[in-house]
Amino acid sequence: MDKAYVAALSVAFLFLVHYLVGRAAAGGGKGRKRLPPSPLAIPFLGHLHLVKTPFHSALGRLAERHGPVFSLRMGCRRAVVVSSPECARACFTEHDMSFANRPRFESMRLVSFDGAMLSVSSYGPYWRTLRRVAAVQLLSAHRVACMSPVICAEVRAMVRRMARLAAGGAARVQLRRRLFELSLGVLMETIARTKTSRSEACAADTDVSPEASELTRISEEIMPYLGTANLWDYLPFLRWFDVFGVRNKLMAAVRWRDAFLRRLIDAERRRMDGDGDGEKKSMIAVLLSLQKSEPELYTDTMIMALCGDLFGAGTETTSVTTEWAMSLLLSHPEALKKAQAEIDAVVGNSRRLITADDVPRLGYLHCVINETLRMYPAAPLLLPHESAADCKVGGYDVPRGTLLIVNAYAIHRDPAVWEDPGSFLPERFEDGKAEGRLLMPFGMGRRKCPGETLALRTVGLVLATLLQCFDWDTVDGAEVDMTESGGLTMPRAVPLEAMCKPRAAMCDVLREL
């Protein structure tokens, strides 16, 4: 038989199988389910040809054509995308239990200690234990309040270095590097009671601590493969043959990260003396204390998974959010001046550095942060969920095992909810005017990020201190490039560079730091 004829028959057979499997998945035949509308699919690939970077923007464009609830077939997985506040609220209230699970992506399995991390573990007793430990022992409001001295110390150290850099006038700084290192410094101190080993003697803008450099490189190796748009997770043959070497790259980065975490845990284990109250202990010390009483539950793997989650989520969300806030303020000098005036009014004539106790009184600054989180949410597509049971969303049937993607970015920019949603208007949050409108940068429901309080406290103090200590301007008066990149946390496509100059009223304070 002619080879071309055999090949044609093979292709036809595969198309038939694809069609039948698709009908079965959609509930074809008697009792057919009412699935959400869907764009035209390609055999085998489904809608993967529609995956563009940034993915949240591509999904927003599809929602404009197909409605606030539509379905996609991502290779071997079926997904439903929600882009309206009403449907998102229903998913995380009425159907919160049904969507409490996380999908088992191969890439995430490789980097999460086989699903042991809080952010990706399956809903059940193990997840509830992790959540309780994180919420009560590690990230409670009281414990986060006790972290304020650590946050203040790291902010002062960053400002001191920037002041030295700008001692002769205005200096050009790249904020992303500095903000990431600050976030890491806070977490190193609170998680492992260890300071980053950055040299204070060197104030060069390119100088970072070895720990920040190491974690930055680890993050750069891992993060590109963890987004919802990672094709490697949806096409099994890419994993079978792995022609791009994704598995090897991920495993190399994971080994590097695990060695970093083991060093911290082993160091804390060696210096634990068992005294001191829980508030003064590092997070690792708290977990090692729990390990003594329940070693079969609080294993080293569990401790590494929790610490890995804290480092992975805490550094990125905080630094990215602060960088976007500064980008928006530089693009709107009048808002920057208004925020500075508020800070000056709260601190008064005492000529001192702003403290964590002052930040709650900065109403306009909080409006700036809320508006930043609305326009550039820390996780634009949140983390994906998976339905554990059949349910209905927006009047459509969502079968068990369907991937749920909630487009927080699109929800926050819904013109039916937010007037002029593409404009930076912090005033929209003044006097409770935005009350009742869905804002979900850290998720919603039982799988909401437990680190929200720490993130907001850090962002508030960092942003307030930067505005109090320095006058800011763009480089050469150019417009700020606001292009977004893809990924879990939606960083800027181009790191923010700006000109900073010590404010005249703060020069004496900065010299004393």
CB neighbour list of residue 262: distance below 8 Å, 6 or more residues apart: 304
Residue 196: pLDDT band (50, 70, 90) is confident
Give backbone dihedrals phi and psi of 429, rounded to 5 degrees, phi first.
-100, 0
List, as residue ranges, the binding site for heme.
Answer: 449
Distance CA 405, CA 14 (A): 29
- Long-range pairs for 502-506: beta carbons < 8 A, 24 or more residues apart: 502/163, 502/166, 502/469, 502/470, 502/471, 503/468, 503/469, 503/470, 503/471, 505/344, 505/351, 506/351, 506/468, 506/469, 506/470
Inter-residue contact 133 to 442 (CB < 8 Å) = no
Residue 208: pLDDT band (50, 70, 90) is low
pLDDT at 85 over 60: yes
What are residue 391's DSSP bridge partners? Answer: 398
Question: If you write DSSP's letter for every residue of 91-145 in order, what string do you get?
Answer: HTTTTTTTT-B----HHHHHHTTTTTSTTTSPSSHHHHHHHHIIIIIIS-HHHHH
Instruction: Tokens 């554990």: give the residue.
Output: 388
Q: Give every strand in the sheet of 470-474, ordered side by side.
A: 171-174, 497-502, 470-474
Rg (CA), the chain: 24
The 10s digit of each residue's pLDDT in 445-504 is 999 999 999 999 999 999 999 999 999 999 999 999 999 988 888 999 999 999 999 999
pLDDT of amino acid 450: 93
> Could you tell me what percent of the chain has a pLDDT over 70?
90
Instruction: Tokens 């979900």: give the residue.
Output: 440
pLDDT of amino acid 486: 82
SS3 breakdown of the chain: % helix, strand, coil, rounded to 5?
55, 10, 35
Residue 250: pLDDT band (50, 70, 90) is very high
The 10s digit of each residue's pLDDT in 67-80 is 999 999 999 999 99
Token couple for 462: 């960092």
pLDDT at 86 over 80: yes
DSSP H helices in 278-402: 283-293, 300-331, 333-347, 363-375
pLDDT of amino acid 2: 54
List, as residue ranges, the binding site.
Answer: 449
Q: What is the 3-state secondary structure (H, E, C) of 420-460?
A: CCCCCCHHHHHHHCCCCCCCCCCCCHHHCCCCHHHHHHHHH
Distance CA 332, CA 500 (A): 16
The 10s digit of each residue's pLDDT in 309-354 is 999 888 888 999 999 999 999 999 999 999 999 999 999 877 899 9
Inter-residue contact 433 to 103 (CB < 8 Å) = no
Token couple for 49: 């040809």
Distance CA 222, CA 230 (A): 12
Distance CA 508, CA 505 (A): 7
Give backbone dihedrals phi and psi of 172, rounded to 5 degrees, phi first.
-90, 125
Q: Of 501, 503, 482, 504, nearest to 493 (Cα)?
A: 482
Average pLDDT over the chain, rounded to an integer? 89
**With 0-12 CB in 10 A as exposed, 13-18 as middle and 19+ as buried, what is 503?**
middle
Q: Of 503, 484, 480, nearest to 337 (Cα)?
A: 503
pLDDT at 138 over 80: yes
How many residues are there in the chain?
A: 513
The 10s digit of each residue's pLDDT in 408-461 is 999 999 999 999 999 999 999 999 899 989 999 999 999 999 999 999 999 999
- Domains in the chain: boundaries: 1-31, 33-511
Inter-residue contact 472 to 326 (CB < 8 Å) = yes
Which amino acid is residue 284, in one-letter code? I
| Multiple choice CATH, 33-511, 3.50.50.60, 1.10.630.10, 1.20.1250.20, 2.60.120.10 | 1.10.630.10
Token couple for 333: 């000098």
Token couple for 287: 């977990």
First to last CA, the chain: 84
CB neighbour list of residue 163: distance below 8 Å, 6 or more residues apart: 469, 502, 510, 511, 513
Distance CA 68, CA 398 (A): 14
CB neighbour list of residue 238: distance below 8 Å, 6 or more residues apart: 231, 232, 244, 246
Token couple for 188: 């190193």
pLDDT of amino acid 198: 58
pLDDT at 22 over 80: no
Question: Residue 54's CB: how many other CB atoms inside 10 A?
Answer: 20
